[in-house]
């Protein structure tokens, strides 16, 4: 008896569905191991909600997170915040106008000033 060629062992119908099966398997793999989701561009605001917060949100997140305010609050007395924001503007070049600066300083002094 003549040996059958190897490819005859795989029915043509199986060959026809193979690409579909591979596609489904890859799809399942992708579902099982999703890529790390891209981080949302905007950060949730984590500071107290009070007048001035929107100016902070608009002006203070370009270079670092708002956590800087909370992390440093224990060390910054209310009247030192003005110097801190001046440092952000002058030393680090933050483009914050005088109007927003006044609101930001008032907000920080009221909500994040070190208790004396």
What does the binding site for ligand HEC look like in residue numbers (CB under 6 A)?
56, 59-60, 62-64, 68-69, 72, 84-85, 87-88, 92-94, 96, 104
Tell me how far, at minimum, the Cβ of 41 lies from ligand HEC, in Å. 16
Q: Report the residue number, 18 or 97, with the smaller CB distance to ligand HEC.
A: 97
- In whole angstroms, how close is the CB of 115 to ligand HEC at the nearest point? 17
Closest separation in Å from C-beta 30 to ligand HEC: 37
Record the tokens describing residue 94, joined without a space: 């933050």
The span from the CA of 85 to the CA of 50, in Å, is: 18
CB 52 within 8 A of CB 103: yes
**Between residues 19 and 116, which has the closer beta carbon with respect to ligand HEC?**
116
Closer Cβ to ligand HEC, 1 or 49, answer by number: 49
**Closest separation in Å from C-beta 68 to ligand HEC:** 4
Where does the chain have alpha helices with state H? 12-32, 53-59, 67-72, 81-90, 98-112
Give Cα separations from 88 to 65, 73, 101, 115 (angstroms).
13, 15, 10, 23
* Closer residue to ligand HEC in complex, CB, 21/48: 48
Rounded to 5 degrees, what angle do the CA atoms 6, 11, 15 make?
Answer: 95
């Amino acid at each position: 008896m003549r040996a059958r060629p190897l490819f005859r062992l795989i029915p043509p119908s199986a060959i026809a569905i193979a690409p579909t099966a591979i596609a489904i398997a890859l799809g399942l793999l992708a579902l099982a191991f999703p890529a790390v989701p891209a981080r949302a561009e905007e950060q949730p605001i984590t500071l107290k909600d009070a007048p001035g917060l929107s100016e902070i949100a608009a002006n203070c997140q370009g270079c670092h997170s708002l956590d800087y305010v909370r992390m440093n609050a224990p060390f910054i007395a209310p009247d030192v915040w003005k110097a801190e924001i001046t440092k952000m503007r002058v030393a680090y070049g933050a483009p914050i106008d005088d109007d927003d600066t006044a609101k930001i300083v008032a907000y920080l002094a009221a909500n994040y000033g070190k208790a004396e």
